[in-house]
Structure 1
Amino acid sequence: MSQVHESTSTIGYLIADLSRLYGRVFDRRAAHLGLTRVQWRALKRIHQAEGITQAALADLMDMEPIAVGRVIDRLQKAGFVERRSDPDDRRVWRLHLSSQSTQIMDAIEQVSVGVRQDSVAGVDPGELQTALKVLSQIRETLSQLDRASRGESSLRKG
């Protein structure tokens, strides 16, 4: 029983450490691209959901909309992102990658694949699949808990 308690009490720290170290290695390998981690995360999210709104992007990135707006300003100035007005709502900007961003997205993907492959080198493929399955289950449970807690807090306000 104490073995289970010990492993579950450190899982948050382990995940945080993995995230921090993964990001650090990625940043070093991607430094030649001249983008910050937040900028490449934004580009990747826009790439995955072309036409996303700034508000939706802020939510996906777990950032304040004003901070995402500044990131998009820099990416737009660098020629990687275009803001296009929403035909149904003039207050909303839709985000699209520019043609210039294709090259940077390919470079980011190469770095990403390299870090992923190197980070799991030496890990048994079956064990990796099990670990990914467990982490996915934890993510889903935490997502449910997050949605439930947001629902509770909105009920209290109303």
Structure 2
Amino acid sequence: MSETIGFLLNDSARLFRRAFNARTRDSGITALQWRLITYLKRHEGIRQGPLAELLEVEPITLSRMVDRLVEAGLVERRADPTDRRAWRLYLAPRAADLLDGMREIAQSLTDEATEGLSTVEREQLIALVERVRANLSRRECLKETA
């Protein structure tokens, strides 16, 4: 039986997360927390609501994750100068070192996952998956504006 692309992508992502979590267990950082930190590096100063949307988690779930990362000294909450009810999120200086280590783990895991693929095949795989993501993102954006 041939699997659908959706099943294969979802199952591969699940296996990747599980392997990543196993390799980072000693650091105390989960794959989802690493995603949060990575998004925060790209969007420093973002408010919690938009970050929850990016991560596709409920705001209360994000709030708890941020609480843990603040306690760990990896994330800082700063008052939003335009809205005193809101917080803006920033990486703490300690997060930079952690990100470097996590990148190494992710790269090692990626190398393992793509073992046996040539450089050209790896580049093709990335391009094809990026195209699938763009197709789905565009359709989701079209649905939201309709």
How far the C-alpha of 1:11 sits from its partner, in A, is 0.5
What is residue 99 of structure 1 aligned with on the other side? 93
What is residue 22 of structure 1 aligned with on the other side? 16
In structure 2, C-alpha distance between the alignment counterparts of 1:136 and 1:97, rounded to whole Å: 27
Pair 1:62 & 2:33 matched: no
Larger Rg over CA atoms: 1
How far the C-alpha of 1:55 sits from its partner, in A, is 1.0
Deviations along 1:3-24, whole A, 9 cap, x unmatched?
xxx86x6101110111011111
Return the TM-score normalized by structure 1. 0.84
Match of residue 72, structure 1, among 46, 61, 66: 66
Structure 2 counterpart of 1:60, one-letter code = L
What is residue 3 of structure 1 aligned with on the other side? none
What is residue 156 of structure 1 aligned with on the other side? none
Could you list the structure 1 runs, at least 4 aligned residues long, displaced by more than 6 angstroms after superposition: none
In structure 1, C-alpha distance between the alignment counterparts of 2:100 and 2:107, rounded to whole Å: 11
Unaligned runs of 5+ in 2: none
Structure 1 counterpart of 2:55, one-letter code = M
What is residue 116 of structure 1 aligned with on the other side? 110
Structure 1 counterpart of 2:111, one-letter code = Q
Aligned Cα RMSD in Å?
1.7
What is residue 146 of structure 1 aligned with on the other side? 140
- SS of residue in 2 equivalent to 1:123: coil
In structure 2, C-alpha distance between the alignment counterparts of 1:126 and 1:74, rounded to whole Å: 40
What is residue 85 of structure 1 aligned with on the other side? 79
Unaligned runs of 5+ in 1: 1-5, 153-158
Deviations along 1:104-132, whole A, 9 cap, x unmatched?
22221111111122221210222222222
Aligned length: 146
**Aligned residues with identical type, % of pairs:** 35
How far the C-alpha of 1:25 sits from its partner, in A, is 1.1
